[in-house]
Amino acid sequence: MGYVFSLVLSREITEDEMTTLKASCTGAAEFGTDVLPTDTEVTVTRMGFDDAVSPTLADAIESALAAVTELPEIRVSELTVPGQPVGDEGAEAKEPVAAAAGTD
């Protein structure tokens, strides 16, 4: 298990956009649909990451954000980072942290 976090995009993406993101992202990315936190009538894409490749959590997040910025007209609406184990795998995780990037 690597660095775990998720991004909520500003809209639902197409199959071509998903293919582009999969090719651009480091680590494993899972895609699903969700609703915009600020407007439950807007369907968006949620990307879940488990990045065992990047050396730090910050590098993993920066890589994911850079991949999204390669697609025109898509922004990140939310970043959620659950508590990450520190040191050994048995370490207790803290509560998730969510940050909204903007509204649509």
pLDDT of residue 27: 73
**72-92, pLDDT tens digit by residue?**
899 999 999 998 876 544 444
Domains and CATH numbers, the chain: 3-100 (3.30.70)
Its pTM stands at 0.77
Res. 69: pLDDT tops 80: yes
**Mean pLDDT, rounded, for 20-27:** 85
Closest by Cα among 39, 60, 43, 51 to 9? 43
Indicate the average pLDDT of the chain. 84
Gap between the Cα atoms of 100 and 43, Å rounded: 16
Res. 47: pLDDT tops 80: yes
